[in-house]
Structure 1
């Protein structure tokens, strides 16, 4: 971490150009009540097992689970990642479901920070039930059905779309699972793009976002389409540990153990070799691994057992990882930068500014392997 901190002090991200799309959610962070002691006092369910058991025990009967709202914030993988990159100092263009005809107030900070914003549809709504060991996302996503290629061309314009996705350091298309027409958008972009004259390629980051609810044949088709972007970009597929298992099972990868039990290095290498993208990255809660050019990279994160907010942690990790790539850091340093951004986020309930990120990396270096 000392070396990373020293390198970051010499860098600034202000020259970096990013385009992100296409979802948008209003996230309502809630706690599930285990026992209520009075109108003003209750004990929350601290882990997902409690929540699951409460539901399971009511099978064939019924039950009531009280949800206590804690805060409302911008949500959706795209807005959260874009907002983190804005805070870190990059120039961001956002296209997605932020509200139409009027942008929802939870996105005001993002809109003010972005260079350009194009809102195509009403956002979805998520009740994010937070636990110490994870979260349950209860989503309503009707508005995202309006995120289509025709709408993008109408609101943004073909010339601006081509410029935004060509003249950038990073393009990110997120939440394939909840954006039902993203394949259609990918097809439109593939027809619009052309290789750069100088032969260089920007980065394209793709996050499927919990593909388990989609049919295996749909996932396979998505993998093929993502691969087509390799003509124009250095393609990065980012997955959490659950998603990595799901993709490995759909691809019928042969591992030493069931995909859910395989060691991180084994599943990252297997997926990386099988899919053939420029980078395959997987980020469990306490560590992260990436496969690039036949080499495996790994870091342990600054773990905390008491996160204050986990909804959006993965998107903040993705922002930090991609920022590291754009700054031309080594891959293991990019993984560490992702862990630092998400580590700050789960502790402070917001994305860090650039100097705050540097300070957090310095603190991580001081603490070493200690929890903080």
Structure 2
């Protein structure tokens, strides 16, 4: 990527539609001996076993609050992509009455807000996170709210983007309708497979099988006019496989099956140990460095996706796309922040 800064800056991304204020916490285990400080539960399993032991009883869990920060798939992905130098426009839930909440104000993007941010609590562990959030409600028609908030020609913004990123379908009850409007808007212009439509469903457990199948077929419709890319984490990939396919559990088999079954151009599956990209070109696997003691895990997948978006629009081959996204996410997890392009290149050279 060295020497391509001007080319990167000329690539336009339009991203929609979520936005959350995250409270990052670690649940604490109370010590057995007096005078010993409480320590965080190390793993989700350890915390789960503690909760199971309290069945038919009651308990109180102390939470160590580590931060209040921007959250949601759009803010993390967009901040990562903008920090790498891409021209990013965000249409999301970023503040009341069109104003921008201070949590999002420093994002290196153009920001448009059509609703206040949702609220979520993220429990961090060494092996992952538990995310607690409520559904977000937009009074009236969400597409009308988007068009009113942006004021510019929203369909044109999506049609002219080099990459559209639509994220967090699962947690927004109105997301499917918005995605359909974007699909219709893109279809009104000429098909251009050099441009991308990138999707992240988020945890699909809140949605029914019929809803999940419908959104995957909608993504397949995008493939008629753009190169459609679906990014799944391991949990999401397994859920799609178990609920809609014949049940393969290998990431490469799942990715290939989703491509075939729903007519999606490219499917990425990223886990804590590897990432996979499947397309008509075949399937590529790339190992990633496991971080035993992550500085943060909330937003790791979105940082992977932000880097994936840049790698796609810059025309990297499949292996290099995965390598770039893996390295970017690894830096974020181990350092607790998204790297600049210069930092990422320096870290890669040192490695």
Match of 2:28 in 1: 33
Q: CA deviation at 1:297?
A: 0.6
Matches within 5 A, 1:238-317: 238-253=231-246, 255=248, 262-317=249-304
Counterpart of 1:82 (choices 78, 82, 102) is: 78
Residue in 1 aligned with 2:221? 228
Paired residues, what number?
347
Matches within 5 A, 1:92-241: 92-101=88-97, 102-110=99-107, 113-114=108-109, 116-143=110-137, 148-157=142-151, 160-194=153-187, 196-197=189-190, 199-241=192-234
- Judged with a 3 Å threshold, the aligned counterparts in structure 2 of structure 1 residues 250 and 106 are, in CA distance, closer, same or farther, namely same
Moved more, 325-334 or 181-190: 181-190
Shift in Å at residue 145 of structure 1?
6.7
- Residues 245-270 of structure 1, C-alpha deviations (whole Å, 9 max, x = no match): 11112223253xxxxxx222222222
Q: Is the 8 A contact 1:97 1:144 kept in 2?
A: no
Q: What displacement does 1:49 show?
A: 1.0
Pair 1:59-2:55 in alignment: yes
CA contact 2:81–2:309 (8 Å) conserved in 1: no
The one-character-per-residue Cα deviations of 1:62-118 (angstroms, maximum 9, x if unpaired) are: 1111111011111000110001011111111000101113322211111xx21x211
Q: Output one character per residue of 1:264-300: Cα deviation in whole Å (capped at 9) or x when no partner.
A: 2222222222222110110001110010114001111
The answer on whether the counterparts of 1:195 and 1:232 sit within 8 Å (CA) in structure 2 is no
C-alpha distance in structure 2 between counterparts of 1:175 and 1:198, whole Å: 25
Q: What is the deviation of 1:29?
A: 0.9
Relative distance call for 1:189 and 1:198 in structure 2 (3 A) is: closer
Structure 2: distance between partners of 1:171 and 1:155: 18
Deviation at 1:40, TM superposition (A): 9.8
Paired residue for 1:350? 337
> Could you tell me how far 1:39 is from its partner in structure 2?
9.1
2:223 is paired with a residue whose SS is helix
Structure-2 residue corresponding to 1:318: 305
Deviation at 1:189, TM superposition (A): 2.0
CA distance in 1, matches of 2:308, 2:190: 27
CA distance in 1, matches of 2:173, 2:286: 34
| 1:98 counterpart SS class | coil
Aligned match of 1:369: none
Query: Unaligned stretches of 5+ in structure 2?
Result: none
Distance 1:16 1:49, change over 3 A: same
Q: Which moved more, 1:185-194 or 1:133-142?
A: 185-194
Contact 1:96 1:147 in 2 (8 A): no
Maintained 8 Å contact 1:286/1:300:
yes
Report SS of the residue matched to 2:67: strand
Secondary structure of the residue aligned to 2:104 is: helix
Change (3 A) 1:251 1:330: same
The structure-2 alpha-carbon separation of the partners of 1:145 and 1:329, relative to structure 1 and needing over 3 Å to count, comes to: farther
| Whole-angstrom distance in 2 between the partners of 1:39 and 1:95 | 50
Residue aligned with 2:103, SS = helix
- TM superposition shift of 1:57: 1.3
After TM superposition, the score normalised by the length of structure 2 is 0.93
Do structure 1's residue 17 and structure 2's residue 12 form an aligned pair? yes
CA 1:146–1:238 in structure 2 vs 1: closer, same or farther (change >3 Å)? farther
Q: 1: distance between equivalents of 2:136 and 2:177?
A: 17
The structure-2 alpha-carbon separation of the partners of 1:59 and 1:229, relative to structure 1 and needing over 3 Å to count, comes to same
Which residues of structure 1 form unaligned runs of 5+?
1-7, 256-261, 367-372
